[in-house]
Amino acid sequence: MNRTPVLRSLLLGLLVASPGVAREAKEYDADVHYEESDLPHYDLPPVLVAASGKRVVTAEEWHSVRRPEILSLFSHLVYGRVPEPARAIETEFEVVQTDPQFMEGRGTRKDVKIHFRNEQGEISMHVLVFVPNGVERPVPAFLKHSFNNTQSKDFDASATRPGRLRNGWPLGEMFERGYGFCAVYHQDLVGHNEVGFLKGIHRLFYPEGQSFPKAHEWGVLSACAWGAMRAMDYLGLDEDIDHKRVAIMGHSKMGKAALWTAAQDERIALAISAQSGCAGAALWRRKSGETLKKMVTRFPYWLCRNAWKFVEQEDDLPVDQHMLLACIAPRPVYVHSSVDDTWADSRGEYLSAFHASEVYELLGKKGLASEASPKVGEPIIQSDVGYHIREGGHSVELYDWRRFMDFADYHFKR
Ligand code: GCU
C-alpha cells in the first residue's frame, strides 16, 4: 500500500500521544494565531450552492443533492470513508451484566458488549447504559463518546460525591431530569493515536493484500464514529432507551467524533460538541489556534490521508466545518466553547454554528441570528442551533452539563 513513507516517518517522530498534551502548544508554537487581527482573509465555501453551481432553494434539494454531496466530500477528503468490508462481518449484542440498584438504587446499569467477527478477526466494543429507576421507560438519553474507559472504575458511582460518577459526571442529575446515559470508549476499536491500523477494527475490513487505509479511507475519528453508530444499532433494540431521543455528546477529540457521527447518522436526534475545535466545530480557514498542519503533525491519522493535502492549503478545501454542522440539520446542534480554550478557537466554533444556521433556516428551523458571539453567561438554548461560552479552560464542568440538559429539555420535552 502507498503509505507515503517519508512523510509518515517524519510525522511519527512528532507524535504526542495523550489527549490534552498539545494544549500546551501555545507556549511552544510561536506561529499560532490567536488575535482576530492576525487572522487571514477567507471566504467560506457556500453551503447552499451545489457542485453543479445551482443554488439550493428547497428542503428537497438540500436532502437529495447538497447534503449527500457535502457528506461525500467530508468522507473522502477529511475524515475518511468506511469501506465495504471484504468479508461480511457478523455482529452480536451481549448484555454482559445488569445492576438494577446502581447509585443506591437510583438507576440501572447495563454493561453491553458488541462483538464483531469475520474470518479476518474478532473485536468487541462496550456500551454502558444507565437508566433512571422509578420512571416510565423508555427514556431519552445522552450517548457520550468517552475518553474514559467504559470498563474501568471511572464509571462506578462516586463514593464521596453523591449523584456523581467517579469521573465526576453528574449522572444523578441526569436521572432526576429523566435522562438515561450511555457511553462508548474511544479506544475500543482503534488506538488514540493509531498509526498501524493492523490490530483494531480496520483489519476486519481489508481485502486481500491491503494492510493500511487508502488515502480516502477511515482514520481514527471515522472509526470512533462508526463505533457510535453500532452503539445506536444496539440502542435501537434496548427497550429502556427511547432511540428517537438520543443526544450524542463528546468533548474535544470526542466532540469532533460526535459531530461527524451525527452528521452521518440521522437516527441521532441531537448533537452536542464540547470544545471540539479543529476538525470539530471550528472553521479550518481561520487557522486560529490548532490548525490542520498542527493536528496532522501530532495526530497524523485522526483524519484520512487525503486531508494532509490541504495542509496550509485550507482555502482549497471544498468544505469548511460549518458544512459539517449543517449536515446535522434539521436536528438540533449545540456548540460549547470556553474563553481560555484558544487552541480550540472559540470564535471559529461560534462562526461555524452561525454559518450552518442558513441551512437550519432553509429547513424551517431556528438558527443563530447574530454573527457576534454571545457573552459569557448568555447561553443560547431556545434555538435549533444552540451555543454557550463560559469562563475557564478545556474541560466539561457541571455548568456545561446543565446547559446540555437544558438544550435537550427544550427539544425533547416540549
Ligand atoms: C489535543 C488536540 C486537540 C484535541 C485535544 C483533546 O489538544 O490537539 O485537537 O481536541 O487534544 O482531545 O483533548
Convert the pLDDT of each residue in 349-363 to its tens digit.
999 999 999 999 999
Domain boundaries, the chain: 4-30, 59-412
- Asked whether the predicted pLDDT for residue 346 surpasses 70, the reply is yes
In this prediction, residue 17 has a pLDDT band, given cuts at 50, 70 and 90, of very low
Mean pLDDT along residues 143-160: 98
- Asked whether the predicted pLDDT for residue 90 surpasses 90, the reply is yes
Active site residue 288: no
Of the listed 75, 146, 222, 252, which one is catalytic?
252
* Distance of CA 374 from the midpoint of ligand 1 (Å): 24
Higher pLDDT pick, 28 / 260 = 260
pLDDT tens for 159-217 read 999 999 999 999 999 999 999 999 999 999 999 999 999 999 999 999 999 999 999 99
Share of the chain above pLDDT 70, in %: 93
> Best substitution site from 32, 253, 342 to test ligand 1's pocket, by max atoms within 8 Å of Cβ?
253
In this prediction, residue 31 has a pLDDT band, given cuts at 50, 70 and 90, of confident
Which of the listed ranges 6-10, 15-19, 144-148 does the model predict with the highest average pLDDT?
A: 144-148
In this prediction, residue 25 has a pLDDT band, given cuts at 50, 70 and 90, of very low
Mean pLDDT along residues 1-5: 38
Length of the chain, in residues: 414
Nearest-atom number in ligand 1 for the CA of 256 is 10
Average pLDDT, the chain: 94
* Distance of CA 287 from the midpoint of ligand 1 (Å): 15
Mean pLDDT along residues 262-273: 98
* Distance of CA 276 from the midpoint of ligand 1 (Å): 8
pLDDT tens for 119-134 read 999 999 999 999 999 9
Of the listed 243, 388, 394, 411, which one is catalytic?
394
- Strand 90-101 to strand 121-132: parallel, antiparallel, or no bridges (unpaired)? unpaired
Please tell me the predicted confidence (pLDDT) of residue 29: 61
pTM given for the model: 0.94
Degrees, nearest 5: CA angle 386-391-397: 70
Please tell me the predicted confidence (pLDDT) of residue 21: 42
In this prediction, residue 414 has a pLDDT band, given cuts at 50, 70 and 90, of confident
Q: 59-412, which class in CATH?
A: alpha beta
pLDDT tens for 364-380 read 999 999 999 999 999 99
- Asked whether the predicted pLDDT for residue 384 surpasses 90, the reply is yes
Active site residue 394: yes
Report the pocket of ligand 1 as residue ranges, CB < 6 Å. 19-20, 22-23, 252-253, 277-278, 290, 295, 298, 343
pLDDT tens for 278-330 read 999 999 999 999 999 999 999 999 999 999 999 999 999 999 999 999 999 99
